[in-house]
Amino acid sequence: MGVYSLVVLVAVLGFALLVVWVPPDRVHGWVFWGQMLWQTVCHLLLQHGEGLLPQGGGVRALVAVSSLMLLTQRVTSVSMDLQEGRIHLPQGGAASCPLFLLSLCSYVLSFPTLLGGPLYPYSRFVGCVEGSGPGAPPLPLGAVSLKLLQVLLLEGVRAGLLRGLPGPGPAAAGGPGPAGACLCLWGVALALRLRYYSHWGVSEGLNLAAGFGPQGPDRGGLSDGDPWTTEASPRVSEFARRWNATTAAWLRRLVFRRGGRCPLLLTFGFSAWWHGLRPGQAAGFLGWGLAVRADYTLHRHVGAALSSRWGRGLYAGLSWAHTQAVITWVVLLVEARGVAPMGAWSSGGVAPLGAWSSVSVLLFPLLNAALALCFLLKPRAFS
């Protein structure tokens, strides 16, 4: 990252100083607001100063800010552990024990996570490092190889999917019809999600090779999402819990359980802020939050009222289709970083999908908002 590594190093230095100077019961608030303020400044500089960066600097700056986002997960996890008493400061405070500060900095700067690996607690990191002596079990080459094979399979499926989508040319000039446009949008969004699954698979394999896998203290693996289980989720809320699972768990702990009266919308709103708060990200995550809230109410009232097998099967199928529609809308909007680029969406050689693409994408939030209004209705309206 070159000089852009200062983006991460400044955050780590600030975190270490706060751990030394602020009492454990108050450190989380200082770490949270300080880290998010620094991350927001870096996001704004990246968004509005991309044209001023030297050639090749844009990619390095993007990697640095991405690493800063993952660093935010780590430092806030440690600050919550300190606040809740899960991590105990050495006698005399953190300043009296440089080794304690070194272990915290080693955890937050662990390279597998800064490259996108799954989030795991500080206690697991310490346990894995302490168990990495001469008597440690061998590296799980079989598990790493299996992860890489899964990544190759996902990339093969993704390449085949993109080849099946309409490309530029006379045949695609008029754009597909309504059904074809919806299928094309779904295919593009699925291809983008498959790229995420591949990235997580590589990160998990790197995590295993670094010694933070099944040989850890709890003998459990770490995963941000199994594509087969996640994509089969029949409900929007289930998909939200399974997608990027370790980050979802971090958001539940950081925001949802502390969110007061509107924890769900605050959680998705904070997720948009953490991702950069571009217009597309804000609209996508808030729309996702409304869909999850509507899903809870519909499942509690409508799903419970269905007694026949065919009725439940039909409801499950429609719920899965709605989940895919919601996630398609969210992924395309977040990746496009705004509503305006959606009408001319193009990814991996996929041609613009014509007017039907714009109509389906722009009308979907209205449908989703109407569905979200269900949570304002009283329960007796469903009886």
Length of the chain: 383
pLDDT of residue 195: 93
Encode 334-381 in three state secondary structure.
HHHCCCHHHHHCCCCCCCCCHHHHHHHHHHHHHHHHHHHHHHHCCHHH
pLDDT of residue 354: 46
pLDDT of residue 168: 47
Instruction: Report d(CA 97, CA 99) in Å as an integer.
Output: 5
Q: What is the pLDDT of residues 173-193, one digit of tens each?
A: 455 566 777 788 889 999 999
Burial 341-372 (b: 16+ CB within 10 A, else e): ebbebebeebbbbbebbbebbeebbeebeebb
Using 50 as the pLDDT threshold, list the residues of the chain that sit under it.
168-173, 215-220, 339-356, 359, 377-383
How far lies 77's CA from each of 68, 94, 195, 196, in Å? 14, 17, 27, 23
Instruction: Report d(CA 131, CA 81) in Å as an integer.
Output: 22
pLDDT of residue 379: 40
pLDDT of residue 376: 52
> What angle separates helix 263-275 from helix 279-298, to the nearest 10 degrees?
150
pLDDT of residue 355: 43
Assigned token pair, 281 = 């990200």
pLDDT of residue 220: 47
Measure CA 242 to chain center: 10
Cβ atoms of residues 82 and 23 within 8 Å: no
pLDDT of residue 1: 64
Catalytic center residues: 244, 275
